[in-house]
Structure 1
Amino acid sequence: MGDDVAAQEFTPADRTRYREKVRRCLDVFERMLRESAFDTDDPWTGIEVELNLVDEAGDPALRNDEVLDAIADPGFQTELGQFNIELNLPPGPLADGGLTACEERLRTSLNAAEERAAAIGAHQVMIGILPTLAPEHLTAEAISANPRYRLLSEQILGARGEDIMIDIHGVERLQTTVDTIMPEAACTSTQFHVQVSPERFASHWNASQAIAGVQIAVGANAPYLLGKHLWAETRIPLFEQATDTRAEELKAQGVRPRVWFGERWITSVFDLFEENVRYFPALLPVIDEEDPLTVLEAGGTPNLSELRLHNGTIYRWNRPVYDISGGLPHLRVENRILAAGPTVVDTVANAAFYFGLVRALAENERPLWSQMSFSAAEENFHAAAEHGIDAEVYWPGVGRVRATELVLRRLLPLAHEGLAAWGVSAEEAHRYLDLIEQRCLAGTNGAAWFARQMQQRRDEDRYDALRAVLGDYRARMHDNQPVHTW
């Protein structure tokens, strides 16, 4: 969830100074885009995976501090809830076996971590929402010890001025009220990073937005929350509601939400950072001593700490990232659409589909977004989140079509083209993209499988059934056989 922030209180003067500093950072960033050399010679990709922790029975294990001590691997970090951890894989190229290497690194890291966590009675699960969560797991007592998380919860609730209402109407309906942002901790995701040049950033971000609905349709993996069967990817409405700083009156006025699909195609990465500064007040107005203009004019690379921290509190589904590596600045698209799992090989298949398809569309001579309204992309996104593998989406030149049919007929060939452009061999591309094809043919992703298993146990106590199906899910997850074969 971003950099650590020490526990503190903020004054109105802090917020005024922070706004001024963020705007100064934005001016420097605009100048850097014109004048600075960004690292673009050998673009890399990266993956982050958020995980849930359960006990032997399958209930949430609120023990992430103990688990991280046992794992003793700096690649694993805390997340918002005590039942969450995150794994960050080192970035690398896709060419010359990059996808296979990613799968091997993921499996090796997760297997080693599982062995150590299991020794203290905790187990990892890759799923979008832990289905055995109960209301008591979404209270302030379950927030991780890192002061950043409690401070962020206080600031969001303070900005809102009232408790948060969660209201999701899916197969069943869930209505509940919470006084922390802990429901956000229920949403665990996989994040795919694509490093791009400033000149190519807009096309990669626009392409990522355009395919968001299709990504969810084939990869949905979060059908249950607090004992209710809701959307195929319930993470989407839950995350949108759990971090909403707007009271009902502000929603009616059209104030933008902090979890945001966006409202337009862009022409530059600057558009996104400028929107962040223009539309959203600070949640964590922490000021760094660096003067970014002084650093830039001295020939250095400014950290732009305030701009980056502010960006980290605005939860775009495709987020722009400014970062520094080896003294050089670079830009990334952070794709935050999907849950992890159900298996490592399924996760890497999702990555291959995203990386390949985005590259093919971003480099197409006739941009897809010139043929498709932004609102159509957003409608696809929410329709796919609700209906998953059965969703219908809009696509230029086709009209409304089953997402699976669109993938099979049009998008998989494009994904193959894109992976070839990355330097991925045809054999390796087929290993992963064929799994996407089989999911579409079988009509099965993580959400669909879980819902079918629960239907077979419909006469049992709901939570007993959820624990039993989750236990089966976890066993199959370790087998690493793709979900369409389950």
Structure 2
Amino acid sequence: MGQEIQQYHFSSADFDSFRERVRNETLRLAEWFRDGAFSTRDRVIGLELEAWLIDREAQPAPINTEYLRTLNDPMAVPELARFNIELNVHPQSLTGTALSKLHADLRRTWEHCYHVAEDFDARLLMTGILPTLEDRHLVMANMSEMKRYRALNEQVLLQRQGRPLRLDIRGNETLRTEHRDVMLESASTSFQLHLKVNLDRAARYYNLAQMLSAPLVAVSANSPYLFGRDLWDETRIPVFEQSVEVGGHAAASHGPVHRVSFGTGYVHGSLFETFQENCDHFPVLLPIEYDVPPEQLAHLRLHNGTIWRWNRPLIGFDDDGTPHLRIEHRVIPAGPTLADGIANAAFFYGLIFELGERDEVLEWRLPFATARDNFYAAARHGLEAQVTWFDGKRVRMQALLVDKLLPLARRGLERLELDGDDIEHYTGIIRQRLRNGCNGAAWQRAWVARHGRDWQGLTEACLERQRTDTPVHEWDI
């Protein structure tokens, strides 16, 4: 989905040809799984950070075309809306000082991007949902000037047979609105983690990423408000799910399998099951034909890029062309700071490694339906969520994080032989956040409780504190 395309109107022949290519590439991928053809250079990590361009009144600034042209940095690319961009980092081997290196790499890019934004009389902000965002900002005039987004919009609406996309979110308050385009998707911005995995452990790590989605979304929640309404702790979750609501075959907009979802279950044998599901159950959205060798799996990978599971398996390639497997963990919102983001990453990588290297079958102790219910409970209620953990035990999320999961994450980072100072620093951020009960969502609500619903004031307060890279648990109100 990151590549530009040359057209956005398609014929039935385009769709037929693309489906055939996806089927053939899926068969080729099946052979790779059978033959163990994937790279064994695992434990490589990376991330993507989506950010907002805002003006001097803290309103969305739809300038990313001219801004990115001036920035001229390959680590920054456009997002769906003209007021959003995505920042990337160089992948790091998960060893030694990988965490602080990621932090420093991201900070360098962030500072460069921030200073260039000032040349446009704008600022750069990281947050799950911009507090000053209004429905009127989410219009086609503010869609990024890339054909792939126009094509996505056209195809989603065609598959919905022209029915508008509706938001219906019931949290502390209720929000209902509808759009005849996909611009609602741009209301949410995230901090996405990547983990390269070996074939023999890939299924286990993927299932664990699903189990750990609830704790990660609870500890990192940073999106309580949308269009002035107090909704979920992580309102990003229902916004994204409802803003591209297109289902599987035979029920384009209301089928049981949706393009943005927690998924349909754990994998049992290998990650290939998800790619087979892509081929069997999801209509093609963007039938772009690439003139490249079939072993690049270009069509399969594009199709996978239009299916937004909260944990998404990816096929990539090492520098020498060897294919590899990655897991993209998509549940974490952007912000409140870079330090908070790297702490969230450390927590995830430590936990998934500590649990993933065990021999026990954890899927038996936490059924998929329970992991899914936990995820939505955590998105709604954050640290206050009541969830069911291993062996059917009911527990408050904050207690689970403090008593069980944070010690496991630290142990996992130690097993990885990461730098001791890094471990102490980043797990310390999580520890203090939990001790204070203060993730980004809690801080935003505390600020509003004191100052009222001054959305510009809240945005400026976030921006001012964000500039120091001081973790959110230390922010005053």
Whether these two folds match at TM > 0.5 is yes
Rounded to whole Å, the distance in 2 between the matches of 1:309 and 1:207 is 25
Aligned to 1:221: 222
Q: Is 1:64–2:64 an aligned residue pair?
A: yes
Rounded to whole Å, the distance in 2 between the matches of 1:135 and 1:59 is 12
Aligned to 2:438: 444
Letter in 2 for 1:307: L
Rounded to whole Å, the distance in 2 between the matches of 1:432 and 1:109 is 20
Report the Cα offset of residue 55 of structure 1.
0.5
Q: Is 1:412–2:386 an aligned residue pair?
A: no
1:157·1:179 contact (CA, 8 Å) conserved in 2? yes
Report the Cα offset of residue 322 of structure 1.
0.3
1:1-150 equivalences in 2 (<5 Å): 1-35=1-35, 37-150=37-150
Rounded to whole Å, the distance in 2 between the matches of 1:101 and 1:303 is 30
1:356-435 equivalences in 2 (<5 Å): 356-397=350-391, 399-435=393-429
Change (3 A) 1:213 1:104: same
2:246·2:253 contact (CA, 8 Å) conserved in 1? no
Aligned to 2:448: 454
**CA offset digits 1:307-355 (Å, max 9, x no partner):** 0000000000010100112211111000011111101100000000011
Rounded to whole Å, the distance in 1 between the matches of 2:391 and 2:431 is 22
Aligned to 1:296: none
Aligned to 2:185: 184
Rounded to whole Å, the distance in 2 between the matches of 1:94 and 1:368 is 23
2:62·2:142 contact (CA, 8 Å) conserved in 1? yes
Q: What is the DSSP-based 3-state SS (H/G/I as helix, E as strand, rest coil) of the residue aligned with 1:168?
A: strand
Letter in 2 for 1:260: S
2:223·2:234 contact (CA, 8 Å) conserved in 1? yes
Rounded to whole Å, the distance in 2 between the matches of 1:244 and 1:6 is 25
Report the Cα offset of residue 250 of structure 1.
3.8
Report the Cα offset of residue 420 of structure 1.
2.0
Rounded to whole Å, the distance in 2 between the matches of 1:97 and 1:322 is 26
Aligned to 1:328: 322
Rounded to whole Å, the distance in 1 between the matches of 2:380 and 2:367 is 21
Range with greater deviation from structure 2 (189-198 or 9-18) = 9-18
Change (3 A) 1:9 1:272: same
2:246·2:252 contact (CA, 8 Å) conserved in 1? no
Rounded to whole Å, the distance in 2 between the matches of 1:34 and 1:422 is 29
Aligned to 1:212: 213
Q: TM-score, with normalisation over the residues of structure 2?
A: 0.96
Q: What is the DSSP-based 3-state SS (H/G/I as helix, E as strand, rest coil) of the residue aligned with 1:332?
A: strand
Report the Cα offset of residue 214 of structure 1.
0.5
1:208·1:318 contact (CA, 8 Å) conserved in 2? yes
Identity of counterpart residues, as a percentage?
A: 39
Q: What is the DSSP-based 3-state SS (H/G/I as helix, E as strand, rest coil) of the residue aligned with 1:361?
A: helix
Aligned to 1:468: 457
Question: Which stretches of structure 1, 4 residues or longer, exceed 3 Å deviation after superposition?
Answer: 249-254
1:227-246 equivalences in 2 (<5 Å): 227-246=228-247
Report the Cα offset of residue 254 of structure 1.
4.4
Rounded to whole Å, the distance in 2 between the matches of 1:271 and 1:42 is 21
Q: What is the DSSP-based 3-state SS (H/G/I as helix, E as strand, rest coil) of the residue aligned with 1:106?
A: helix
**CA offset digits 1:232-288 (Å, max 9, x no partner):** 1111000000001259x9489743111021121112010110111111000001122
Range with greater deviation from structure 2 (213-222 or 105-114) = 105-114
Rounded to whole Å, the distance in 1 between the matches of 2:42 and 2:429 is 28
2:76·2:86 contact (CA, 8 Å) conserved in 1? yes
2:51·2:85 contact (CA, 8 Å) conserved in 1? yes
Letter in 2 for 1:282: V
Rounded to whole Å, the distance in 2 between the matches of 1:208 and 1:70 is 38
**Structure 1: runs of 5 or more not aligned:** 293-301
1:143-182 equivalences in 2 (<5 Å): 143-161=143-161, 162-182=163-183
Aligned to 2:280: 278
Report the Cα offset of residue 451 of structure 1.
1.1
1:67·1:122 contact (CA, 8 Å) conserved in 2? no
Letter in 1 for 2:135: P
Q: Is 1:289–2:291 an aligned residue pair?
A: yes
**Structure 2: runs of 5 or more not aligned:** none
Match 1:477 to one of 463, 466, 474? 466
Rounded to whole Å, the distance in 1 between the matches of 2:251 and 2:297 is 30
Rounded to whole Å, the distance in 1 between the matches of 2:126 and 2:307 is 25
Give me the CA root mean square deviation.
1.6
Aligned to 1:297: none
Q: Is 1:303–2:296 an aligned residue pair?
A: yes
Q: What is the DSSP-based 3-state SS (H/G/I as helix, E as strand, rest coil) of the residue aligned with 1:206?
A: helix
Rounded to whole Å, the distance in 1 between the matches of 2:428 and 2:375 is 23
1:222·1:234 contact (CA, 8 Å) conserved in 2? yes
Q: What is the DSSP-based 3-state SS (H/G/I as helix, E as strand, rest coil) of the residue aligned with 1:479?
A: coil
Letter in 2 for 1:180: D
**CA offset digits 1:77-96 (Å, max 9, x no partner):** 00000110000101011212
1:80·1:149 contact (CA, 8 Å) conserved in 2? yes
Rounded to whole Å, the distance in 1 between the matches of 2:456 and 2:253 is 40
